[in-house]
Chain A
Amino acid sequence: MSGDWRERRHRWDTRYAPYAYIAPYFLLFAAFGLFPLLYTAWVSLQDRDLLAGDAATWVGLDNYVRLLTEDPYFWNAMGNTLSLWLLTTVPQILFALGIAQLLNRRIRTRTVFRMGVLLPNITSVAAVTIIFAQLFGRDFGLVNWVLELFGAGRVDWQAGTASSHTAIAAMVVWRWTGYHALIFLASMQAVPTSVYEAARLDGASQWQQFWRITVPMLRPQIIFSTVIATTGNMRLLAEPLLFNPGTAAATGGSDRQFQTAALYLYEQGFAKYDFGYASAIAWLLVIATVLVTGLSYLAARRIRTD
């Protein structure tokens, strides 16, 4: 009797305990991930002012129709997001590959350098942005001072489209390159040295070895990094928000020249309190993220392994 009970309890334990272990994640995900997502979808079908509280009117797909057909500022924000995606993702991956290659060599105090490249990533994004905004200042910024030393003119970084995108991309690249470099470095060390030895015997140069062996071997990590960089870029908010402080921060420049999609969402939701409209933007962003992630996955997959 007692043995039978113990036996049964043991069976239940091995069968159900794993579910109990992973349950906290799913409970938290349901509460803080799934529920907000579905609630946002529901709100996006309403005309809802945050200050008016529950006084919402059902408008169906109106918010989506307005966004897609009548709102030039939404498309402007999507365009800026796309431009920043190209300006951040490509340099991030290339720089990270280069840094990983350097760190993979036998150099002294290697560990210090390896830890060092991760430092930008763990500093506060607000602090980084505020410092970069100072560096890119129009009148007393360090970047303009250096440009002037070399005889180039001063640039009003916030004013122009290309200049503001460059400055914001610099912040993102500076922050994330080290993170990707460490991921690449880890898998570089897994590449068997015999492959390189064989290549050297065949007369391949360092450069050829890098592009023909290392990069193709890193294909899964490059795909992973591209996806991470892409989803991060679709959420780009703090950098453009803090790049132009003051009361008009949420518009991303005087002509919305660096307003990203996430910043446009923030403006509609938290500057204009138009929650229905902001929720619709959020859902369009979800769809766009899936599309762009798929595209970058396909692009990164083209790296050949042969």
Chain B
Amino acid sequence: MRRTGPLVGAGLLVASLVAGCGGVGDGKTRITIGLFGNFGYQQLFEEYERAHPDIDITDRTASYSDHHKNLAAHLATNNGAADIEAVDTGYINQFKQNPDKFVALDQGLKDQWLAWKWEASLAKNGTQIGYGTDVGGLAICYRRDLFEKAGLPAERDAVSASWPTWEKFFETGRRFQASAPQGVKFFDGGPTVLNAIVGQAPVGYYDPSDRIVVGENADLRKGWNLVTAAVADGLSAGLLFSTPQWNTGIKQGQFATMACPAWQMAKIKDQAPDTKGLWDLALVPGGGGNWGGSYLTVPKQGKNVEKAHELAKWLTAPEQQAKVFATAGLLPSTPKVYGEQSINQLTSEFFNNAPVGKVFIEAARNLRPQYQGPKAGDIQTELGNAMQRVEQGKQSADESWAQFVGDAGRLAG
């Protein structure tokens, strides 16, 4: 027997590797929810669990791109997705190409949301795959102190009035740059500001038949020309959005303005708490615009599909969205609550008591929805790279544009 010991041992080793681990049930239904960034849901989870003692909510949060890449992999392998998965505007178009992977949501709730928010997550076959959470109504965040140092009016109404259009915005920028403090630029980076301009055009990268139209879209080319001219005049700090360098740029005051959806304000507060009171909020040139905002989806592969659907419905209901706006500053996508005082009278101490409720609600109401095709996110990446090539002095504006049109065309295949 002694001699066969090793043989048995080796077999046991393999067996113990293969054997899984069992779970101990506590009688509760566990609902998992996959998030990225701060959705302001912690208090809501506790509230829901108090009202539903049989439910246990577990959330897992990953970074923006990791979250969506994981979700794609889980959907592809039909395994591993959470019961509720958040999806950002930048990815919803890709996911709604395959509505079969998601539970069809309640069409009866349609009127609860801004019409364009509902449309954006509606699949071509008429299935609704996502309940809207927040919207990224656009504004411009600017540094009052830097405007003053450059000898420009710094009051928010005067600032808003100085840039009714993007042409005027860059004119203000040139005046700013002429007497700006050493090392300070007017805006953070070309790709960010161009992104805001493109978001306002009636047509973006696609026409509604899913044909890529970047080469012939006059609005897009006009925006490109405006921003590249501003870059040539030295208005850009040349920082890429949401990189460590960009974060440092906020801390160090390297730029005076940036395109600012509601969720961006939380980002500034987190990155540069020392700049409290130096920032203010002005209206976005061109009126309206949207950047970001998310949806809650219920993947079909989940174990508790019905209870998850119920929770998703509850989390995105107007009352809950209002609570999230008050605690985390994410702008609701349900216009029903825009009339409430707690929402439209909301101000931000960090942003010099700017009337954030009023500004963002106006931005969300003025938004003209733009159709987003399946590869809109990839095209936006290529456009950002194209702008960066100009900022880095690697190519002329025309060369870079030609390469961008070619790159976008290759994505059609």
Chain A residues engaging chain B, CB cutoff 8 angstroms: 9-10, 13, 16-17, 20-21, 23-24, 27, 50-53, 130, 133-134, 137-140, 156, 159, 244-249, 251, 253-255, 270-273
B27 interfacial contact with A, CB 8 Å: no
User: Cβ of A273 and Cβ of B241 under 8 Å apart?
Assistant: no
Residues of B within 8 A of A251 (CB): 381, 385
Q: With contacts A130-B244, A248-B381 known, is A53 near B10, CB below 8 A? A: no
B244 in complex: contacting residue of A9, A133, A156, A249, CB < 8 Å: A133
User: Cβ of A17 and Cβ of B97 under 8 Å apart?
Assistant: no
Residues of A within 8 A of B76 (CB): 50-51, 53
User: Cβ of B394 and Cβ of A10 under 8 Å apart?
Assistant: no
B243 in complex: contacting residue of A10, A27, A246, A255, CB < 8 Å: A246
Residues of B within 8 A of A159 (CB): 392-394
B248 interfacial contact with A, CB 8 Å: yes
Min distance, Cβ A144 to any Cβ of chain B, angstroms: 12
User: Cβ of A255 and Cβ of B242 under 8 Å apart?
Assistant: no
Q: How far is the CA of A21 from the CA of B395 in the complex (A)?
A: 60
B4 interfacial contact with A, CB 8 Å: yes
Q: How far is the CA of A245 from the CA of B385 in the complex (A)?
A: 13
Stretch at the interface among B67-75, B128-136, B328-336: B67-75
Q: How far is the CA of A17 from the CA of B8 in the complex (A)?
A: 9
Given contacts A52-B97, A247-B242, A273-B72, 6 further A-B contacts (CB under 8 A): A16-B7, A24-B17, A134-B244, A245-B244, A254-B388, A255-B389
Is chain B's binding surface mostly helix, strand, loop or mixed? helix
User: Cβ of B249 and Cβ of A139 under 8 Å apart?
Assistant: yes
B384 interfacial contact with A, CB 8 Å: yes
Sample (26) of A-B pairs whose CB atoms are under 8 Å apart: A13-B3, A16-B7, A20-B6, A24-B10, A50-B72, A50-B76, A51-B94, A52-B97, A139-B245, A139-B252, A140-B245, A156-B392, A159-B393, A244-B240, A244-B243, A246-B240, A246-B243, A247-B381, A248-B381, A248-B388, A255-B395, A270-B69, A270-B72, A271-B378, A272-B411, A273-B94
Q: With contacts A24-B13, A50-B72 known, is A247 near B241, CB below 8 A? A: yes
User: Cβ of A255 and Cβ of B385 under 8 Å apart?
Assistant: yes
B14 in complex: contacting residue of A27, A53, A271, A273, CB < 8 Å: A27
Min distance, Cβ B48 to any Cβ of chain A, angstroms: 30
Residues of B within 8 A of A50 (CB): 72-73, 76
Q: With contacts A20-B11, A24-B13 known, is A10 near B75, CB below 8 A? A: no
Q: How far is the CA of A28 from the CA of B18 in the complex (A)?
A: 11
Min distance, Cβ B405 to any Cβ of chain A, angstroms: 15
Min distance, Cβ B345 to any Cβ of chain A, angstroms: 35
B162 interfacial contact with A, CB 8 Å: no
B10 in complex: contacting residue of A20, A271, A272, CB < 8 Å: A20
What 1/0 flags go to B1-45 for Cβ under 8 Å of A? 001101100110110010000000000000000000000000000
Q: How far is the CA of A139 from the CA of B237 in the complex (A)?
A: 10
Residues of A within 8 A of B303 (CB): none
Residues of B within 8 A of A134 (CB): 244
What 1/0 flags go to B277-302 for Cβ under 8 Å of A? 00000000000000000000000000
Residues of A within 8 A of B174 (CB): none
Residues of A within 8 A of B13 (CB): 24
| B95 (CB) vs chain A CBs: closest residue | A51
| Most chain A CB within a 10 A radius of its CB, from B241, B245, B386 | B245
User: Cβ of B248 and Cβ of A137 under 8 Å apart?
Assistant: yes
